[in-house]
Structure formats: C-alpha cells, structure tokens
C-alpha cells in the first residue's frame, strides 16, 4: 500500500476527481468546522472547511490532499509598509527594500498582488525582494 501527499485547492481537486473518476474507489474529505468526514460526490455538493482529502485508487494507492485555501487575504498599505509586519513573517528587508515598500501602492493588496507589483516595477532589487516574498508565501512557512 503506497501513498502520495500533495497540495491542491478544492477546485483543483474537483478537476482531478472528475478526470480520474474511473480510477478512484473512494474519496473522503475532512470538514474541520463540522468535525466530520464527507464522502464521494458530497464533497462537491456541501461546502465546508475541508482541510484533508483522502483518495483511495482502485490499485490500492492512496492520495492525501492537503487542501489549500482559496481565500485571498488583503493587507492595508499601513501593514505592508511596516518593517515589523515583514519581520513577523520571517523576512529581513534591506533599507532600500523598506524604502521601496513605503512608497508602494495605496490600496489593500494580497501578498501575491504585491509580488506582481514588485516584479512589474523599476526597482533595482525587485528580483531579490520578490524572491523573499515568494518564499514567505510557500505552504508551511
């Protein structure tokens, strides 16, 4: 009996499930809010706070899916312009990076949007700064 661990959003899992339905013998999703397991097609019919999906394939292989949230959190400029915010995320900024972020955008942004804004800017250290932010966005960080 073998198993594979992956990260997917619920939408990505839905596409995987439909494409491989003939190879799957069962699928169960854990709804952390309701503290119960939901099986089969009910996963897609009932919305829940799914954190884990366990798929058993007909060949006995298991697929454990850690469900990525699709909720996008935005931060006010006061937050992403603050060096303490980045320090709390484990990111050490240079003086130039801090100065750039203090001048950056005037509207609430998600971290992914901030990375895109940095990559599209003319800031000389944009590659390094974008890399630091991308590292903080990785699951488990």
Could you tell me which residues are beta bridge partners of residue 110? Answer: 74
Alpha helices in the chain (DSSP H): 10-19, 42-45, 77-80, 83-88, 95-103, 111-119, 126-137
* Of 71, 80, 72, the residue nearest 114 (C-alpha): 80
How much helix, strand and coil, in percent to the nearest 5, is found in the chain?
Answer: 40, 25, 35
- Model's pTM, two decimal places? 0.54
Residue 103 has pLDDT above 60, yes or no: yes
Position 139 scores a pLDDT of: 63
Position 96 scores a pLDDT of: 93
* Locus of tokens 């971290």: 111
pLDDT in tens, 9-38: 999 999 999 999 999 999 999 998 889 999
* Locus of tokens 């839905």: 14
Angle separating helix axes 111-119 and 126-137, nearest 10 degrees: 160
Residue 105 has pLDDT above 80, yes or no: no
Residue 141 has pLDDT above 70, yes or no: no
């Amino acid at each position: 009996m073998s198993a594979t661990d992956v990260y997917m959003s619920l939408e990505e899992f839905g596409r995987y499930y439909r494409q491989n339905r003939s190879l799957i013998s069962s699928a169960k999703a854990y709804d952390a809010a309701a503290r119960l397991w939901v099986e089969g097609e009910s996963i897609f019919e009932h919305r829940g706070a799914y954190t884990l999906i366990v798929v058993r394939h007909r060949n006995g292989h298991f697929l454990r899916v850690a469900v990525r949230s699709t909720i996008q959190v935005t931060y006010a400029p006061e937050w992403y312009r603050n060096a303490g915010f980045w320090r709390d995320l484990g990111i050490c900024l240079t003086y130039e990076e801090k100065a750039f972020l203090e001048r950056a955008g005037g509207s609430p942004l998600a971290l992914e949007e901030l990375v895109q804004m940095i990559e599209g800017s003319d800031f000389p250290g944009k590659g390094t700064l974008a890399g630091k932010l991308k590292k903080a966005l990785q699951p488990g960080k």
